[in-house]
């Protein structure tokens, strides 16, 4: 049988597709623009999106296992519920859904609340599912590397509670493992939730220290106030989205993104290797950076 992957061209989705293909799975992806999508040979591409019912129904033909990822958009919840309903109509009963850590707690943050709502619908609609709840993506910080390298400041207001930052390669591999496990199971498996975290829980000061060490020069933490963060984001994204990111940053500061006991050990056992670390990410960036 074939596994359908949505969000396949994104930072997580492309790793999932690569991992599935490497494991010998038949893969189909739903893409808005197949001409711009680069996938391994043999991947079947269906043109469409999550609000196009005809393309959704075509994508679900012959599918029983789905990876569902919804981007942060104003209609994210509608996309999720439409997709889940069409999937169920098509006979899909096995699902891996990309949620977010603390989705049940950070409910004042719109895309956290949306994902928690989708989790509840998945359970109530009778899917057998793995709910993946990732922490902050390590490679989010690719967007701020020039600030770090050129100005000596780590500008993300991530606070002093700590974030268990996770590498998207680890997310992709765990997702692929779970998709294949559910696809190959003789029947529908129970709903299960997995926190996706990194090996270290880091504060803003911790991250600045890592950058200082790998660059060999001082990098300061920019502080916990998310006001400047929102103002900067509003220069290149919709204001509602910049405000939503501010609300998320406020929860970084007040609560952090803290793994539960056993999360790291569980993921390490699943992958059969250590998790990718933030220090490794920073070291790779530093190795390609020009001297100050």
Sheet holding 63-68, edge to edge: 44-47, 26-31, 2-5, 63-68, 94-98, 128-134, 192-196
CB contact at 8 A, 217 and 201 = no
pLDDT at 264: 98
Q: Give the residue numbers spanning the domain of 50.
A: 2-136+167-196
Half-sphere exposure of 205 (CA within 13 A, CB side): 2
Q: What's the rounded Cα separation, in Å, for the pair 23 and 19?
A: 6
Domain annotation covers residue 264? no
Residue with tokens 């929860």: 251
Q: Is the pLDDT of residue 65 over 80?
A: yes
pLDDT at 245: 95
| Those residues with Cβ within 8 angstroms of residue 140's Cβ, 6 or more apart along the chain or in another chain | 156
Q: What's the rounded Cα separation, in Å, for the pair 87 and 201?
A: 37
pLDDT at 87: 96
Q: What's the rounded Cα separation, in Å, for the pair 139 and 91?
A: 35
Domain annotation covers residue 291? no
| Residues constituting the chain | 292
CB contact at 8 A, 82 and 119 = no
pLDDT at 35: 79
- How many helices and strands (H and E) does the chain possess? 11, 9
Q: Is the pLDDT of residue 152 over 70?
A: yes
pLDDT digits (tens, 9 = 90+) for 279-289: 999 999 999 88
Give the chain's mean pLDDT. 95
Domain annotation covers residue 123? yes
Half-sphere exposure of 290 (CA within 13 A, CB side): 4
pLDDT digits (tens, 9 = 90+) for 170-224: 999 999 999 999 999 999 999 999 999 999 999 999 999 999 999 999 999 999 9
pLDDT at 51: 93
The phi, psi pair for 38, rounded to 5°, reads -115, 110
Instruction: Calculate the CA 15 to chain-centre distance.
Output: 11
Q: What's the rounded Cα separation, in Å, for the pair 230 and 162?
A: 20
pLDDT at 36: 76
pLDDT band at 290 (very low <50, low <70, confident <90, very high): low
Q: Is the pLDDT of residue 291 over 80?
A: no
Half-sphere exposure of 50 (CA within 13 A, CB side): 24
| Those residues with Cβ within 8 angstroms of residue 70's Cβ, 6 or more apart along the chain or in another chain | 6, 7, 50, 76, 79, 80, 83, 98, 114, 115, 118
Domain annotation covers residue 60? yes
Q: What's the rounded Cα separation, in Å, for the pair 29 and 99?
A: 19
Domain annotation covers residue 233? no
pLDDT band at 129 (very low <50, low <70, confident <90, very high): very high
pLDDT at 66: 98
Domain annotation covers residue 211? no
pLDDT at 132: 98
Tokens representing 238?
């919709």
What is the pTM (predicted TM-score) of this model? Answer: 0.96
Q: Is the pLDDT of residue 1 over 80?
A: no
CB contact at 8 A, 161 and 255 = yes
Domain annotation covers residue 266? no
Count of structural domains, the chain = 1
pLDDT digits (tens, 9 = 90+) for 70-126: 888 889 999 999 999 999 999 999 999 999 999 999 999 999 999 999 999 999 999
Domain annotation covers residue 213? no
* CATH, residue 129: 3.40.50.720
Characterise 152 by phi-psi region: left (phi > 0), alpha (psi -120 to 50), beta (else): left
């Amino acid at each position: 049988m074939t596994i359908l992957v949505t969000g396949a061209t994104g930072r997580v989705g492309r790793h999932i597709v690569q991992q599935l293909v490497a494991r010998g799975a038949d893969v189909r992806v739903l893409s808005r623009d197949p001409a711009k999508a680069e996938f391994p040979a043999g991947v079947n591409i269906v043109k469409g999106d999550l609000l196009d019912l005809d393309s959704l129904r075509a994508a679900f033909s012959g599918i029983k296992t789905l990876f569902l990822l919804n981007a942060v958009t104003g209609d994210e919840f509608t996309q999720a519920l439409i997709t889940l309903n069409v999937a169920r109509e098509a006979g899909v009963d096995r699902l891996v859904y990309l949620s977010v850590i603390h989705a049940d707690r950070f409910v004042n943050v719109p895309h956290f609340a949306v994902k928690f709502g989708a989790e509840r619908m998945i359970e109530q609609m009778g899917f057998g599912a793995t709910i993946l709840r990732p922490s902050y993506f390590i490679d989010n910080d690719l967007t701020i590397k020039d600030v770090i390298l050129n100005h000596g400041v780590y500008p993300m207001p991530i606070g002093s509670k700590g974030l268990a930052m996770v590498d998207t390669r680890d997310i992709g591999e765990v997702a692929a493992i779970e998709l294949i496990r559910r696809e190959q199971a003789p029947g529908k498996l129970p709903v299960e939730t997995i926190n996706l975290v990194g090996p270290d829980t880091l504060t803003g000061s911790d991250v600045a220290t890592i950058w200082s060490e790998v660059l060999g020069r001082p990098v300061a933490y920019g502080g916990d106030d998310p006001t400047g963060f929102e103002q900067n984001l509003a220069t290149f994204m919709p204001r509602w989205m910049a405000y939503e990111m501010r609300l998320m940053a406020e929860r970084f500061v007040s609560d952090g993104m803290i793994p539960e006991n056993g999360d790291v050990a569980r993921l390490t056992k699943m992958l059969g290797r250590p998790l990718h670390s933030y220090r490794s990410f920073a070291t790779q960036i530093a190795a390609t950076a020009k001297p100050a």
